[in-house]
Structure 1
Amino acid sequence: MTTSLGAKIKRHRQEKGYSLDKLAELTDSSKSYIWELENRDTRKPSGEKLTRIAQALEVTTDYLLDESEEPSDQVLKEAFFRKFSKLAPEDQQKINQMIDMWGKKD
């Protein structure tokens, strides 16, 4: 099943609990522009705007542009690493320790 760019933006915006106003603010856009992206398939954002939207929603631009329903493994990994890189160094270290512990299970 295919999913449009607008449907993905709307779904992820709602999952994050963002209003149209909040996503517009985070992406330096207007509320009406975000609404048009979500509801009119004829509206296509610029590369810069698409990047801002992807960053605000913590997904990749590739995922937003791909018409598949679910993100690929690569997209999920990129989203994880983006979130991981925003953590404080001590939190990153704790996560690395947990991964090491899980990896030792046999």
Structure 2
Amino acid sequence: MPSTLGEKLKELRRQKKYSLDELAKQSGASKSYLWELENRPDRKPSAEKLIDIARVLDVTTDYLIDDNATFDDAQVKEVFFRKFNTLDAETKGRVMDMIDVWSRKK
């Protein structure tokens, strides 16, 4: 299980099948900046960049920077709600309708 920021970034990027170029495009960071984060343990990202990278990789910033953090249910929920909150009102309504239908199946 990866523990350092660099290990986590590399593992998450590979899980999503992103090259450094792709992650750079989607996060707004440069390829060289991301390479340094993955390969140089002394690099500390800015909070702004870390937020953008975490968003693209579907994790929280806490997970990335805490060497002891695991990606647990709370992390999954936080990522879900972060994505949900970016939806427009109509799409949020459709998601809520689907949740209502699924919850009735019990």
For structure 1, the residue ranges without an aligned partner over 5 or more in a row are none
CA RMSD between the two structures: 2.3
Amino acid corresponding to residue 33 of structure 2 in structure 1: Y
Q: Indicate the larger mover: 14-23 or 83-92.
A: 83-92
Give, in angstroms, the shift of residue 38 of structure 1. 0.9
Give, in angstroms, the shift of residue 95 of structure 1. 2.8
- Using the size of structure 2 for normalisation, the TM-score is 0.78
Q: Is the CA contact (8 Å cut-off) linking 2:2 and 2:11 kept in structure 1?
A: no
Aligned residue number for residue 20 of structure 1 = 20
Give, in angstroms, the shift of residue 35 of structure 1. 1.1
Q: Is the CA contact (8 Å cut-off) linking 1:60 and 1:75 kept in structure 2?
A: yes
State how 1:1-106 maps to structure 2 within 5 Å.
3-68=3-68, 70-87=70-87, 89-106=89-106
Task: Describe the shift of the 1:53–1:101 C-alpha distance in structure 2 as closer, same or farther (beyond 3 A).
Answer: same
- Using the size of structure 1 for normalisation, the TM-score is 0.78
Count of residue pairs brought into register by the alignment:
106
Structure 1: distance between partners of 2:102 and 2:25:
40
Task: Describe the shift of the 1:27–1:101 C-alpha distance in structure 2 as closer, same or farther (beyond 3 A).
Answer: closer
Identity of aligned residues (%): 52
